[in-house]
Each structure stands twice: as structure tokens, then as C-alpha cells.
A = this chain, B = another copy of it.
Amino acid sequence: MHKRAERILMSPTRHSDALRAAQMYYLQDLTMDAIARELRTSRSTVSRLLSSARESGLVQIQIRNPLDTGPELESLIRDTYNVDAHVVPVLETLNEAETLDRVAMQAARTIGPLVDSNAIIGVAWGSTLSAVSRHLTRKITHDCVIVQLNGAGNMHTTGITYASDIMRRFGSAYGARVEQFPVPAFFDHAATKTAMWNERSVQRILELQSRMSIAIFGVGSVDADYPSHVYAGGYLDESDLGILAGSDVVGDVATVFFRGDGSSDGIVLNERSTGPALAELKQVRRRICVVSGASKINGLRGALTAGLATDLILDEASARRLVGFDGAA
């Protein structure tokens, strides 16, 4: 009755045909035509079989960049910030949206191979993560859990994709259970947070978060050209924004704010925020930060200085600004 057959289940024979086709195409270099003859079907069907083999994660394509010979940009970032950098080649003339799309696609495919069975994957929300979630490639895993990193207030929803959509996409890409975090992004009063944090339903999520093996997030930057929706989306009121402007806060990760030197102590807003404390986040083995758009550079610098990420995926222009040489060579 419903139209949403979200989980794509291939019939067994179709699945095994896809496998055979993939083997013949990618491992034996046969043409689709030749494969079609062997499978007694049409070439176009083979083309579609191969598509589904790729989409379903049956075929894994990955690019291993021998670190030593790689572009010096990545090594430079690696050395400066102690983070595994993946620079996405993007023509500088593209607009923000196109850049984001390409960064997101490459991020999604870079993340894929890192996800394994029994992983607990923390996911933030925001336009970056939304874009990433739209490009995930399927991968068959067992007993993975996707857990939401921070609440997503729902007073305004200004066209931004809901956090739950992001989570759902991650969940269905990896066949994982999804655990949402049903609290607002910010509480109005720190006391309410304290109270909620003692609720068993919330503690269950916090407990999951404490056992995360992978965390995936973007960064917000207070001075971004078009600011993260955290700053613009009505989550914070005038006085909150005033406080931020008056302090040295440069950005946030999962609605937890920090200063340019990576510190976050004494930022009162964080007491009402629902994201994981930075110290807690840093317990996670693999922390993947995705950034697109050079205007987030200040927030990003802070996040890296704070050591929040182990892996960084960002566009080339931002990468260049990050290490200093903006324009030419």
C-alpha cells in the first residue's frame, strides 16, 4: 500500500546476477555486451545490474592516496593540525551549492569504507550533513547504530532538511538502527537540560553517544558569508547572539561553541546546548569533519585547534586558505 519501499531488497536471482555481472565487468574486464550474452539478457539490463551493484555497495571503489607522494596541500594540513586531510578537487569558479554537492559526494564515498559492522555512528545535522546524507552509498553491515549527536529544535524549520531525514538516510544506507535525539537544539534554561539529562530516555542516547566509534559533523562559523542556520535559523534569540558576538567564539560543532584557541570553558550557551561536550567528543576514535565553503575557515580553524577531528574532508579552496596561501602559488 505504501509507496515507501525504502529498503531496496533485490530478489535473490537478481542479486546473484548483479554479483556475477560485477565480477565479470570489474574483475575480468568483459564488456556489458559479452556479459549480457552469458547471462542471457539484454545489455541494458546488465548496465542496470551494474548500477545496482555499485549502489548496493557490492562493488567498492576506493582511492588510496599514497600519503608520501600526495599533493603537498594534504601533507601540509596533516602536519599543521594533526588531522588526516582529504582535499576535494573543485574548480574555484563553482558556486557554493555546486561545491557543497561535490564535497558531499566525495565525503560520502570516503566515509563508506570506514563504516564497519557493529559501529556506532554519531551524526550531526546541518546543511553539510544533509548534503552528505544524500550521497551515501549503500553498504551491508550488521548491527550498526546511527545516533543523533545533538537535538534539533523545531520551532522554525525554514526549508532546512530535517535532522530526522539525515539520520534516516544514514540508517538506510548502512542498514542501521536509527536513534534520534528528541530534544530542542538549545534549551531555554540550563536547568531544564539538567532535568532532562536525568531522564532515562535521554540517558539511553547519551550512553550510546559515549560508545560511538565514528562521529560525523560539519562546523559552523559565526562569520560565515551565509551563516550556519544555527546562527540564522531562529534557534538563538537576540541576547544569545549578543553574547556570542561579545565573546571570542568563532564557531561550533554540533551546536557546541568554542573559541579560536580551541577552548570552550565558560561559554554559557554551551550549558543550554544539547551537543556532546568537546572533551567527550574527543573520546571518539574516528571523528570526521566535513567542510565546504571557504567562509567557514575561522570556525574550522578553531575546531582543528581544539583537536575535534581526526579526519577532515574539505574543498580545495578552503584547504588553501586553511594553510595560508590563498590565491596563486
- Mark A residues whose CB is within 8 Å of B: 12, 15-16, 19-20, 22-24, 26-29, 38, 53, 57-66, 69-71, 88-89, 91, 102, 105-106, 109-110, 140
Contact, CB under 8 Å: B61 / A59: yes
Q: Top 9 nearest A-B pairs by Cβ distance?
A: A27-B106, A20-B89, A27-B109, A66-B140, A28-B102, A61-B61, A26-B61, A38-B91, A28-B105
In angstroms, Cα B23 to Cα A29, docked, is 21
Candidates B27, B57, B70, B89; contact of A105 at CB < 8 Å: B27
Candidates B12, B19, B28, B61; contact of A106 at CB < 8 Å: B28
Q: From residue A179, how far is it (CB to closest CB) to chain B in Å?
A: 24
Contact, CB under 8 Å: A27 / B110: yes
Instruction: Please name all residues of chain B whose beta carbon is closer than 8 Å to the beta carbon of A91 when the two chains form the complex.
Output: 38
In angstroms, Cα B136 to Cα A27, docked, is 11
Q: From residue A39, how far is it (CB to closest CB) to chain B in Å?
A: 9
Candidates B12, B57, B70, B102; contact of A64 at CB < 8 Å: B57
Q: Which of A23, A38, A70, A71 has the most B CB atoms < 10 Å from its CB?
A: A23
Instruction: Please name all residues of chain B whose beta carbon is closer than 8 Å to the beta carbon of A20 when the two chains form the complex.
Output: 89
In angstroms, Cα B26 to Cα A209, docked, is 33
In angstroms, Cα B61 to Cα A28, docked, is 12
Instruction: Please name all residues of chain B whose beta carbon is closer than 8 Å to the beta carbon of A26 when the two chains form the complex.
Output: 61, 63, 109
Instruction: Please name all residues of chain B whose beta carbon is closer than 8 Å to the beta carbon of A24 when the two chains form the complex.
Output: 89
Candidates B23, B57, B64; contact of A60 at CB < 8 Å: B64
Instruction: Please name all residues of chain B whose beta carbon is closer than 8 Å to the beta carbon of A140 when the two chains form the complex.
Output: 64, 66
Contact, CB under 8 Å: A38 / B89: yes
Given contacts A38-B89, A105-B27, A109-B27, contact A19 B60 (CB under 8 A): no
Contact, CB under 8 Å: B70 / A19: yes
14 new A-B contacts, CB < 8 A, other than A27-B105, A59-B63, A66-B140, are: A12-B69, A19-B63, A19-B65, A24-B89, A27-B63, A27-B106, A27-B109, A28-B88, A28-B102, A38-B89, A58-B63, A58-B65, A61-B61, A64-B140
